[in-house]
Amino acid sequence: MIAAQKTDGAVQEKHPKGLYVLFATEMWERFGFYTLGGMLALYLRDSAQGMGWSEEEATTLFSYYLMFVYASPLIGGWLADKWMGYRMAITVGALFFGVGYFLLYVPSVSALYVALTLVIIGNGFFKPNVSAMVGNLYPEGSKLKDSAYNIFYMGINIGAFLGPVVAEFMQRRFGFRLAFTIAGFGMIICLAIFWAFRKHLSGRDKGDATPRGQDRPRSSLPIDSVPDSKRVMALVVIFVIVIVFWMAFHQNQLTLTYFANDNTDWSAWGNVSGVISNAINPFWIITLTVPLIAFWRWLARKGLEPSTPAKIAIGMFLTAVSFYLMSIAGWVGGNTGRVSPWWLISAYAIVSLGELMLSPMGLSLVSKVAPAHMRGLMMGGWFVATAIGNKLTAIGVYWREWDHSTFFFILATMALFMSGVLWMLLKPLKKAMPGV
């Protein structure tokens, strides 16, 4: 299953089949997750088919939902490391996901809260452990990990693209409730793939990334000489910095969806709703992933590939550029009028490139830097940082109080500031993460 290992335990020459099993597993899980995410904010404020809440109430609930969704992996990662193992945790998570999605068919506030709670629990078990299992497919020090996580991230975004597209079709013809159940069927497919091809994941179930039949390299990597505590602290610094990215980025399911629904002229595109805008970001991720991987390989051959923390800093900068562009779009539309969809499409192209330099790189960074016995826990820590950023998406309550141009400008400036902070910290971070 693992081809052509080098004698120093460095890297196999091609990706193992298990990567593509996890690719498909995560693709269908994200299909369900983004089917829900693409519709939820609009469903909460819809007075005919939904809850009929105010925009502020919908934004507040959504921010809490996102926070708990991305905080729950801390517990799920710890349970997998200490007790369950990755395979069982992923299975349990998929079951919770599916039940939660089907429960959204029930049109009541109490059912809504129970369903979202089940989704939160499901994500806690599923998300950190499928990501950690990707890293465990590779020997310590593998140079293929960055590209592996980029490939894995493409699977995430194929699902994230299909979810809103199917949701748009289903919601317009059958309403929100039936559209939510499609997410549940996605989880059935997800679980079927994971178990049908589980033989390709054998031996990757806990915090040991060394393939079976191969001796663990003995202190052959620069990172091996760094104490665990220093490695963990370096990761925590990265976690804190990327909080602002997630606060801005996850406006995609909140204020950017409102903007797409209320301030974007889709007449030339068939008068679709704001739900469809949630497919723009994953479309760009799918489009840009392969060229970006090729670009990194080209730089690597010349010895010029940036370190993983440097890639994250670039991603933060591009996020700032994207939201400055949306600030201009708000100004062009007079903050209340409608503008061409190309503003959104262009801004999403830039932030998607930034996301590719930040999110999969962050997953890869955790996999490479975290001590093996803490990998699931530290992967959960990455999602806790995401959770805090997602709670801060509640800045969206000012969507109607501030001009849209001002709202986006503030987000852009915060992202630019944090990019600068990370650039200043690159030198000490490199000392804590040698070879990364």
Phi first, then psi: what are they for 196, rounded to 5°? -65, -30
Q: Identify the pLDDT of residue 2.
A: 38
| Domain assignment present for 5 | no
| Domain assignment present for 302 | yes
Q: Identify the pLDDT of residue 203.
A: 64
Query: How far apart (Å, rounded) are the C-alpha atoms in residues 100 and 184?
Result: 8
Q: Identify the pLDDT of residue 214.
A: 46
Annotate 6-32 with DSSP letters as a single string.
-TTS---SS--HHHHHHHHHHHHHHHH
418: amino acid identity, one letter: M
| Domain assignment present for 128 | yes
| Domain assignment present for 162 | yes
What is the total count of domains within the chain?
Answer: 1
| Domain assignment present for 320 | yes
SS3 60: helix
What do you get for the CA distance between the two ends of the chain, in Å? Answer: 26
Q: Which residues of the chain have pLDDT under 50?
A: 1-11, 207-217, 219
Annotate 45-107 with DSSP letters as a single string.
H-TTTS----HHHHHHHHHHHHHHHHHHHHHHHHHIIIII-HHHHHHHHHHHHHHHHHHTTS-
Q: Identify the pLDDT of residue 217.
A: 44
> pLDDT tens digits, residue range 157-207?
899 999 999 999 999 889 999 999 999 999 999 999 999 998 888 766 664
> pLDDT tens digits, residue range 237-268?
889 988 999 999 999 989 999 999 999 999 88
Q: Looking at the whole model, is its pTM more than 0.85?
A: no
CB count, 10 Å around CB of 403?
15
What angle separates helix 17-45 from helix 255-262, to the nearest 10 degrees? Answer: 60
Q: Identify the pLDDT of residue 215.
A: 44
| Domain assignment present for 167 | yes
CATH at residue 94: 1.20.1250.20
Give residue 200's domain range: 17-207+224-432
CB burial readout 376-395, b (16+ within 10 A) else e: bbbbbbbbbbbbbbbbbbbb
| Domain assignment present for 54 | yes
Annotate 201-219 with DSSP letters as a single string.
GTT-SSS--SPTTSPPP-S
Q: Identify the pLDDT of residue 367.
A: 79
| Domain assignment present for 151 | yes
Q: Identify the pLDDT of residue 220.
A: 67
